[in-house]
């Protein structure tokens, strides 16, 4: 009876979904890339707009949307499009639509191909069709080519799916809101303090934030100068504040909202022949859901988790950007970390997909992502992670041709040993280095992420059932993998930094070494050696960006060093909090003093004080303390490995595609509750643990496993933490 | 003294040119392609807009224009752009410009790189810079990439010049007229007759024409229906006229001009609650110069030449289109003939270059030009011809990367014998066939134009000094050339139509055979055999399009059969004139009767009555009767081989890049005058000829040669025509 009701309910939900499933559709990637770059190109620096510094790819201006239907009776459809459009039904039944005006046409009974061409250079051709049974969704086929001219022998880079793709969608379901008009929502926000100063007023919003400044009842004949600051010092420094605006007062007296949103905690407003009643902010934000939660006995850690969440919230915009003051761009290496943090926080898939499409752009590939060699590699790994966390094979299928063509670009540029090097014009970034490093030749770090990317290609082509591709990439990956040992220095027990003309350098940095650990590219013994000889070795240069601290601490977590990691988190991220940070920074050096903390790139306020890569504790805590991760795509199967790592207790909820996994742990008790999938709770215990549901299995010395059924039932275990 | 004056004059002209040389610049190909497709996409068919049926390529939305200058003193420049723009001078001197508003900035003294980024999705980013010494011209470098990220190892298809190209230009020299606002000029035109009919009025403009219909003092509350016709019958046939418009009368009483220009000779106007004082036309035309002239004793031939000129004039628009009623698109095979006719008529290079760029589009190549296999090949040959007629090596250099990538696309799709076949989705067109032909497998015609295209690639890479490429293409061309004999049928003395699975078909059409003649792919003996066994053989299907008659007659001209060709011209083109044609048609079958002449594609008025490929006599007369052609690029050297071919006399002027070649010939006298280059007058004479200037050399039996100096002096020869 219960089952029947569930089935019936599901049946009705399905009906409802299919009746209301129409959504805006487009050529996958084109709209996402366009939208992401609208955001990217809004960056300003000292009053000047700075478009992206890499190649900006356009979209296909003429898109053909097709759907074959077989109707029992004629059906009227309403067609909306972003662009001029022409509807052909079957052979020679043609209708013309005008840009942005819907058109109603009747599709005759019988089997017919509906073909709608949409033309738009300025914005991305998009389509919305509403009918009784005919609705625009991802079952429509999109192509810049007419299917009559579809050629089978189209070679790479458009294989395997050719250029005929299932339509892209993005939860834009209102026919009267054009996709190009997509805007993040805003809400009003008040400053907490206003100070009259010489020449103007300094407003403090109390916290790092982002939005449109609004002047209430603005009047006068002069102008306003706005100096934005992440610190009061920056807002007050006319010569050096990174962003400012000058407003010519419009005639009359009325509210005036700045046309562009900005990062700020402070604004200094200087009025020249201008008056206003008040200032406020329209806080602009991504409407993400706070799906994860985390609480523990340590208030500093709780605060770090919350500030991490807010940092990720602010840097989540149309796409995941690096920082909200600067650069306000999607960068592949930065975004890769946002994706991972997002799986342990918002589980927002649209922003993730949009960012990946924005970073990759269109065909042909002419430069590395963001011009950076390593940033191409993170992009591959990001896609596999996405699949692993979401199980969304449709997206993988859509983006696979773009993976292939990027990998072709990479493979075309290998040296004669089959390894990658930064060629002229390539930026070999890895991290900001405080000391000089030689990034030419074969850099060990780049080979490691190259190898991982090839393994990713193997996995993805296997998932899509393209055996020949999988074989090809597997062979390539094995070849690169076999050459990693060339970089190993037995004496130093470390991977050296680079190799030129067959000669290894003496230099060692942490980067290649820590990736080799959590990619499992070295033996257990080597890992322990690297930990001592590199990670914990004070003679190896310390990492000073949260960006690479992310991976350094991930490597340590993978070595079960959660206690070390927790103390580092408290020290490093806690250190920023102690300096008054309300969001985490682009770079933090505990040695710095006073205003020195805000300098970067030779500019007094060059540093971004709200930088996505600063938020890594939310990922580390979710994945390595709460211990939740999928082991089969989309959390069909998952692991929970709770580790207190020095905490007394924690309580957390981690999102899964259609539910969540709740975990409580203290030294004597673990409680878990999962609402989908099949889980394995794995934990260590000094004593034989007990449970109320299921059977605990011993799988190692002090190590136990309990199967968890994703039925929403709470499972409690009594144990004794090691 | 004379020489000194010329040199001084040239010196001042050069000065003037360099002082006024600023012009709009863009990424080469992007603007041309955009503009050509604005035209292409204005096609309508029975009230519905029909965009191109092949892939419409977009442009690069973010373009970087750079120029390095070394100034003795600071210089103010005025910068105009189509798009938002940012100017960087040297390191960190940045200015921001707003779309369509000029900005004045000062370039400091010393050596500096001026870098201007222009962003525009809707239209093509373009730039205009005006200074004392700094002016936008084709010495600026354009790229969608920042030069800091220029990589040397960029592979094909961007070699050899990478993606850093000298700017494209197009004689758009007014900073206040944006390139996107380019419009063809118009002039008013009156109808010659108006007839009141049932339901409306039929206006006859007396001749095939093109333009915007204008209603004088239009008023009312109803609507107007306009039916356009190339014939009165078409204009009067509401059900079948190919183009029509319906106008909702705007409020008030005023002149009203239709928003879109149309082909017409007749318009039938039906007014419903609408009144107007009069109707006229704004004739829209390409402002080409009539640089060639031709007169002979035969008035019918003179008329054919003039109607040919008018046909070419009407089909010359932003780009060379096929026909003005339908399709109004640039088609590569059709345009190839327009280029050739243009060299003997307008010598308009901008339209030629624009058309070649429009046809080819952007990277990557995904389909054949216009989806047609043979149309890709004509494109290669058109570029070499352009170079040969103009000597414009800068254009060749600019377009060469696009030649390379198209040829790569072709080479990727060869069969295992290294020959081309129509793959699924490819349209193997060749010509409209009245009888059924099997166009699958290895079609001999396609191998011939493929071979010629490879030879073209060899020539072009040689000209650009890319020896390795020349060698590659030469080897490929020789391989295909050696396989042409596979298609030769000794018994039939003809190339058979196609070959499948190693088996030759029995079918013979004229196409491959006539191309083999004028490409010189067969011996002199074979040519004579083919003439008898194919060209003049009544059992081989006759050609019924002017398109392929072009090449048929060219083949006959190359066999010195001008008399035959003249009688065919009079018969076939004269035949159209006798039916009242005021421009030449898409297809003409002398067997048809009455309205049957206007039918095509199963539609009563489907045939285009003004089709560029109908104008070939202007090419045949110029090249094979007047006998002028370049033998070195840009007419540095040329030949004049006057042939009366049945005419009593002719007098003609043929344009060269910076002058013209005037030729008069009758049976006893030849007079030539050339204003540039070094020429060879080659002619046959029954008696020893005499001349007043230079020395005549005998070069064969009855064949003589006289060197002509392009100094503007008339050279007269007395001879006796054979």
Q: Do B425 and A367 touch (CB under 8 A)?
A: no
Predicted pLDDT at B150 = 63
CA B361 to chain centre: 16
pLDDT, tens digit, for every residue of B222-271?
999 999 999 999 999 999 999 999 999 999 999 999 999 999 999 999 99
* Residue from A61, A156, A245, A363 to probe the interface with B (highest B Cβ count within 10 Å): A61
Which of B41, B123, B158 is nearest residue A119 as measured by Cβ atoms?
Answer: B41
CA distance A654 to chain B (A): 41
CA distance B130 to chain A (A): 22
pLDDT above 70 (res A17):
no
Percent of chain A with pLDDT over 70: 95
How many interface pairs between A and B have CB atoms less than 8 angstroms apart?
144
Q: Do B427 and A149 touch (CB under 8 A)?
A: yes
User: In chain B, what residues touch A367 (CB-CB under 8 Å)?
Assistant: 145, 149, 151
Q: With contact defined as beta carbons under 8 Å apart, do B449 and B566 qualify?
A: no
Q: Do B152 and A424 touch (CB under 8 A)?
A: yes
Report the alpha-carbon distance of residue B330 to residue B534 in Å, rounded.
31
Which of B51, B58, B86 is nearest residue A48 as measured by Cβ atoms?
Answer: B86
Q: Do A59 and B55 touch (CB under 8 A)?
A: no
Helical residues (DSSP H) of B316-443, grouped into ranges: 332-343, 349-360, 373-390, 393-412
Which of B48, B52, B425 is nearest residue A150 as measured by Cβ atoms?
Answer: B425
* Residue from B93, B239, B367, B369 to probe the interface with A (highest A Cβ count within 10 Å): B367
pLDDT interval class at A310 (50, 70, 90): very high
pLDDT, tens digit, for every residue of B53-92?
999 999 999 999 999 999 999 999 999 999 999 999 987 7
* Residue from B37, B51, B427 to probe the interface with A (highest A Cβ count within 10 Å): B51
Predicted pLDDT at A99 = 66
Range A713-722 average pLDDT = 96
Q: With contact defined as beta carbons under 8 Å apart, do B150 and B38 qualify?
A: no
Six-digit token string for A439 = 């990034």
Q: Do B60 and A62 touch (CB under 8 A)?
A: no
Q: With contact defined as beta carbons under 8 Å apart, do B244 and B208 qualify?
A: no
Q: Do B54 and A146 touch (CB under 8 A)?
A: yes
Q: Select from A67, A31, A88 the least CA-distant residue to A141.
A: A67
pLDDT, tens digit, for every residue of A235-251?
999 999 999 999 999 99
pLDDT above 80 (res B18):
no
pLDDT above 50 (res A159):
no
User: In chain A, what residues touch B31 (CB-CB under 8 Å)?
Assistant: none
Range A504-530 average pLDDT = 97
Q: Do A84 and B364 touch (CB under 8 A)?
A: no
Predicted pLDDT at B151 = 58
* Residue from A29, A30, A41, A49 to probe the interface with B (highest B Cβ count within 10 Å): A49
CA distance B427 to chain A (A): 8
Which residue on chain B is closest to A49 by alpha carbon? B96
Range B554-577 average pLDDT = 97
Helical residues (DSSP H) of A242-372, grouped into ranges: 299-315, 332-343, 349-360
Predicted pLDDT at A3 = 41
pLDDT interval class at B99 (50, 70, 90): low
Percent of chain B with pLDDT over 90: 87
CA distance B77 to chain A (A): 19
CA distance A48 to chain B (A): 5
Q: Do A121 and B94 touch (CB under 8 A)?
A: no
* DSSP H or E segment with residue A9: helix A2-19
CA distance A116 to chain B (A): 12
CA distance A380 to chain B (A): 21
Phi, psi of A466 (to 5 degrees): -105, 85
Q: Do B364 and A157 touch (CB under 8 A)?
A: yes
Which of B55, B149, B413 is nearest residue A425 as measured by Cβ atoms?
Answer: B149
Percent of chain B with pLDDT over 70: 95
Range B181-191 average pLDDT = 98
Q: Do A150 and B364 touch (CB under 8 A)?
A: no
Predicted pLDDT at A151 = 58
pLDDT interval class at B152 (50, 70, 90): low
Q: Select from A55, A44, A123, A42 the least CA-distant residue to B62.
A: A55
Which residue on chain B is closest to A408 by alpha carbon? B155
pLDDT above 50 (res A172):
yes
User: In chain A, what residues touch B51 (CB-CB under 8 Å)?
Assistant: 62, 86, 117, 119
pLDDT, tens digit, for every residue of A361-418?
998 888 899 999 999 999 999 999 999 999 999 999 999 989 998 999 999 899 999 9
The reply to whether omega before A364 is within 30° of 0 (cis) is yes
Other C-beta atoms lying within 10 Å of the C-beta of residue A631: 14
Six-digit token string for B436 = 């059924």
User: In chain B, what residues touch A413 (CB-CB under 8 Å)?
Assistant: 153, 155
Report the alpha-carbon distance of residue B158 to residue B19 in Å, rounded.
33
Q: Is A561 helix (H, G, I), strand (E, B) or coil?
A: coil
Predicted pLDDT at A152 = 53
* Residue from B55, B180, B329 to probe the interface with A (highest A Cβ count within 10 Å): B55
pLDDT interval class at B603 (50, 70, 90): very high
pLDDT above 50 (res A467):
yes
């Amino acid at each position: 009876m219960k089952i029947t009701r569930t089935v019936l309910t599901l049946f009705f939900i399905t009906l409802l979904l299919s009746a209301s499933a129409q959504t805006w559709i487009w050529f996958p990637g084109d709209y996402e890339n366009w939208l992401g770059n609208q955001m990217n190109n809004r960056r300003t620096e000292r009053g000047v707009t700075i478009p992206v510094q890499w190649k900006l790819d356009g979209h296909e201006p003429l898109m053909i949307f097709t759907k074959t239907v077989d109707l029992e009776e004629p059906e009227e459809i309403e067609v909306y499009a972003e662009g001029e459009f022409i509807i052909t039904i079957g052979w020679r039944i043609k209708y013309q639509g005008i840009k942005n005006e819907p058109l109603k046409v009747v599709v005759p009974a019988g089997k017919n191909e509906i073909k709608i061409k949409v033309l738009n250079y300025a914005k991305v051709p998009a389509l919305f069709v509403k009918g009784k049974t005919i609705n625009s969704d991802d079952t429509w086929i999109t192509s810049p080519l007419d299917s009559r001219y579809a050629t089978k022998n189209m070679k790479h880079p458009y294989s395997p799916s050719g250029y005929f793709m299932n339509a892209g969608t993005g939860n834009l379901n209102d026919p009267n809101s054009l996709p190009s008009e997509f805007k993040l929502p805003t809400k009003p926000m008040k400053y907490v303090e206003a100070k009259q100063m010489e020449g103007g007023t300094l407003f403090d919003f109390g916290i790092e934030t982002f939005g449109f400044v609004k002047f209430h009842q603005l009047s006068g004949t002069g102008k306003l100068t706005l100096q934005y600051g992440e610190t009061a010092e920056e807002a007050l420094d006319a010569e050096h504040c990174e962003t400012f605006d000058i407003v010519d007062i419009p005639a009359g007296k009325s509210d005036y909202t700045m046309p562009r949103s900005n990062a700020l905690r402070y604004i200094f407003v200087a009025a020249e022949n201008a008056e206003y009643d008040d200032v406020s902010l329209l806080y602009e934000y991504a409407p993400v859901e706070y799906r994860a939660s985390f609480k523990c006995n340590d208030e500093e850690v709780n605060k770090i988790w919350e500030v991490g969440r807010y940092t990720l919230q602010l840097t989540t915009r149309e796409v995941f950007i690096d920082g909200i003051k600067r650069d306000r761009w999607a960068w592949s290496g930065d975004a890769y970390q946002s994706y991972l943090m997002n799986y342990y926080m918002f589980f927002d898939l649209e922003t993730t997909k949009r960012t990946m499409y924005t970073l990759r752009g269109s065909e042909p590939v002419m430069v590395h992502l963001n011009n950076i060699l390593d940033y191409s590699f993170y992009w591959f790994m990001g896609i596999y992670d996405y699949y692993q966390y979401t199980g969304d094979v449709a997206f993988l299928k859509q983006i696979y041709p773009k993976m292939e063509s990027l990998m072709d670009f990479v493979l075309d540029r290998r040296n004669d040993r089959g390894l990658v090097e930064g060629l002229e014009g390539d930026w070999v970034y890895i991290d900001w280095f405080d000391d000089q490093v030689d990034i030419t030749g074969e850099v060990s770090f780049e080979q490691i992420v190259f190898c991982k990317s090839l393994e990713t290609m193997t996995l993805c082509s296997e998932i899509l059932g393209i055996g020949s591709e999988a074989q090809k990439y597997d062979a390539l990956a094995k070849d690169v993998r076999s050459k990693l040992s060339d970089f190993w220095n037995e004496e130093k027990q470390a991977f050296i930094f680079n190799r030129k003309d067959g000669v290894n350098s003496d230099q060692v940095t942490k980067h290649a070494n820590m990736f080799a650990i959590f990619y499992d590219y070295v033996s257990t013994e080597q890992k322990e050696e690297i930990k001592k000889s590199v990670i914990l070795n004070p003679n190896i240069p310390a990492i000073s960006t949260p960006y690479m601290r992310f991976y350094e601490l991930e490597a340590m977590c993978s070595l079960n060093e959660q206690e070390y990691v927790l103390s580092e988190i408290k020290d490093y991220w806690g250190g920023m909090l102690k300096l008054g940070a309300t969001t985490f920074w682009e770079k933090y050096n505990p040695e710095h003093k006073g205003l020195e903390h805000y300098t970067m790139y030779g500019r007094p306020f060059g540093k971004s004080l709200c930088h996505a890569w600063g938020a890594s504790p939310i990922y580390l805590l979710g994945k390595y303390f709460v211990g939740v991760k999928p082991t089969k795509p989309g959390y069909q199967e998952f692991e929970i490995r709770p580790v207190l790592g020095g905490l007394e207790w924690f309580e957390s909820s981690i999102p899964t595609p259609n539910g969540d996994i709740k975990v409580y742990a203290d030294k004597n008790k673990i409680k878990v509750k999962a609402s989908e999938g099949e889980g394995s709770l794995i934990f260590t215990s000094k004593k034989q643990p007990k449970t109320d549901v299921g059977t605990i299995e011993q799988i190692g010395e002090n190590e136990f496993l309990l199967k968890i059924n994703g039925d929403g039932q709470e499972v409690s275990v009594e144990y004794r933490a090691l």
